[in-house]
Structures are given as structure tokens and as C-alpha cells.
A and B are shown apart, each in its own frame.
Chain A
């Protein structure tokens, strides 16, 4: 049992009571503070909504007039009204097109939104620069590539936004594809976000020469993640580029890291079937690779090509494959290629074959009612 009064004269009960009182006071203070902040935020939101409503109303009222005097009206707006008008214009620039959009670009000109955004690119912070680039994109405001290179290269997030700016405005910039690709990959030290990957793909689909060119010169210095991301993009890009553009990928098959070897074969998906390249791809090594990830990637690529030679490799792989998941990938490939089962072979994975066939048939059955409008349609 704890003594309430110790010999030294210290009142323990008093101390505990004081501590409890302080805690209660702090909790009450915190509650009041939260309530106060919440109420203030609500008041600010209401005021903002009300200002926005009135500015929007005034905007359409003026549009009905023969001489709306946009310049005079905008000059007379206070800071809150101006901010509200900027928000409304931003909204419309993103949702409308055609002559209506041209009208809001004109109005943005009265507010100097383009000049402000171009100036904001000089900020050190990331978010203001990303916002500025987004606004410059919707405003069709001209920004020189030099200005982008001076202001947008120090951070991967800003580089990706600058690349998106160039992609959206690619008709207006001569070297948008090359510069945008350079912004995205840069020195290969920072992995790309999903948004950056999408932009990289969109820039290079159909003609990945800028990406291949950059990879050929500096791909070996890139971080593994960036290298595999670039391979993933190349996997999806349609191309008619000459085979020599892909030769830099071949040494990657000797890389120590399995994920690089797997990425390298994936990167050949759209092009590797061409005889000039196919002869250089070490398929025997790939299907015998110690890492199942590499073998799985190879089976998928072979399935995609689907010709006789690819099918033959898959058939041998199915029999020799020791990893159950990789074997399933190879089996799925063969079933989708409508290959004949080698049932008489002692190592033939009959169960996997039946499983995949049943799976594909079920998927087909599930798809059928949707395509035909349903059994009872």
C-alpha cells in the first residue's frame, strides 16, 4: 500500500491531484483549441463559398452585357474575390473546350495568371512549382525550354510535372519528346512515380528513340529501379526502331540481379521476335535461369510472340520447369496458343494443364453473357 504522506513531508496525494488537474486543463484546452480551429475553418469555408458564388454570378451577369469591361471589373476586385475568380477560371479551363475555353484563357490574361505562374517556377518549394506548371499547361502559356531547364530540374517530382507540361503541349514544342523523356529519366538516380511512368510511356509509344537513345548512352549508370522501370515502359511501347537501338539491352542478360535479367527480356517483348535481335537473345540461358522470375518473364514474352519456335521453347520449359508458379505460366502460354498436350511424356504436367484449361473455359463462359447481352436477353 502506498503511503499518502511520506516521512520527508511530501504530500503525494496533493501532487497526484495537481498532475490530474494539469492534464484535465490541457485536455480541455486542446478541445477548445480544436473546436476553435474547426469553427474558424468552417467560417472561412463559408465565406469562400459565398465569395465564389457571388463572383461567379457577377461573371455570368457581365457576360450578358454588350460591354462587360472585364479589365475594370477585375481591377476592382479585392484579394478574396480575385482568388475566387482564379479558382473558378481554373475549374472551367479544365472542364470546357473550344471557344468557351478561349474565353477563360482571355480572362486569365486579365488576371496575369500566366505571368504569375511563370514567375512561381522560380520558387524553391516543390508544390508551388507543380501548381504553376499545371496552370501554365491549362493556360497554353508559352514557357521556353530554357526556363524549364533553369527552374524545374532539381527535384524528380517537379521534373515529372515539367515533362507532363511538355507532353500536354507537345504540338507546340519541337523537341518535346526528347526533352520530356530527359526530364523523366534524368540521371537515372530517382525512381519514377506511376504518373511519371505513364508520361514516359505516352511520350515513347510508337517511337521510343529518345528513350532508347538515353538508355544506350547512360543506362548502365542508372539505378536498378530506374533501369527496370524503363524496361517496363519499353515492354509496352510499339516501335519500328532499328535493331541496333536495342543492343544495349543484351549485356543486361549477364547482370547479377535477377530482376534486371527479367526486365531485359520483358523489354524485348515488342521487338525481340525480329530475326536480327532474336538470334542474340540467349533463350537457352533464360529458360534455364536459376531465378524463376527470369523464367516466368521469358515464358510470357514467348507466349506473346506465339510462333512455332516460341511454342517449342515453351513446351520444353513446361517439362523441365521445377518451379510450380513458373510452370503454370508456361502452361497458360501453351494453352492460350492452343498447343497440343504432350500427354505421353512422363514429366508432362497434366494437372496444371487441366487446371488452366478449366480456368480459361470458365473465364470465356463468364464473358459470353456480357458480350451477347445475356442468356435471357
Chain B
């Protein structure tokens, strides 16, 4: 059975590209374009093998998800890669403090992202 990747990205173009990229690598992809639905999915028992998380989203953003993730013991084993629009030291530091395992700054290479995710899941 294929491993599941959760992609949380409000830019639907980018979400589609990430879905295509990971599906092409043999993953099952679940995509959400907002943090609220993604969190609902995780709270409802969703347990993906890894999460790709955009930090900047309207409403419940990536950092909100990380804050909730930090408090949840059930999800602690899921590796998270955050996508950031800019490399702000404070933001990246906070993301790591809250449990993110890696980060990628846009523009990014989707192939490199796959390699990073595979490494985290190994």
C-alpha cells in the first residue's frame, strides 16, 4: 500500500503540482487548500506518513497547525516539511521549535522536496 502524503497549500496551482509530483513518485496524496480542513482531517484520525505544509495561508495558517501539532501526542511521529515564501530566520526557527523537521523556500525544486520527504520517512 502506498504511503500517504498530506499537502496543505492554499495556492491551488501549487497544490496540484505537488499532488502530481508525489503521485508520480508512487505516493497517495491528500490535499487541502486551507489549514482548518487539514486540521479537521488530522483530528478525525488522518495519519499521513508526512505533511507538506505552507506557512502562509489565510485563516488557520501553517504556524497555527504547527502549534496544534506541538500539543498533539498522536501526530508527533509525522514528519513535517514547511514551505515558506521567504527565508525569515525567526519564522524558520519558530517552525522548527514547534516540530517541523525541514523547510523549503519558494522557489523550490519539487524533485528535491521529494528527496527530503523520502529521507525524513526513511
Contacts and interface: CB of A to CB of B under 8 A. Distances in A.
B109 A99 contact: yes
Given A56-B16, A64-B24, A92-B17, A97 B11 contact: no
Given A91-B11, A91-B14, A96 B107 contact: yes
B10 to A, nearest CB: 13
A101 B20 contact: no
B112 interface: yes
Contacts of A63: 20
Contacts of B14: 91-92, 95
A260 to B, nearest CB: 35
Contact of B109 (A57, A60, A94, A98): A98
- Interface size on B, as a range, is 10 to 19
A97 B107 contact: yes
A101 B16 contact: no
B110 interface: yes
Contacts of A101: 107, 109
Interface in B87-122: 106-112
A98 B17 contact: no
B13 interface: yes
A190 B83 CA distance: 39
Interface in A90-114: 91-92, 94-101
Contacts of B106: 95
| Majority SS at the chain B contact face | helix
A60 B107 contact: no
Interface in B1-44: 11-14, 16-17, 19-21, 24
B13 A92 contact: yes
A346 to B, nearest CB: 47
Nearest to B24: A64
B16 A98 contact: no
Contacts of A98: 109-112
Contacts of B111: 98-100
A103 B100 CA distance: 30
B20 A96 contact: no
A88 interface: yes
B115 to A, nearest CB: 11
Given A64-B24, A91-B11, A96 B109 contact: yes
Contacts of A88: 13
Interface string B48-81: 0000000000000000000000000000000000
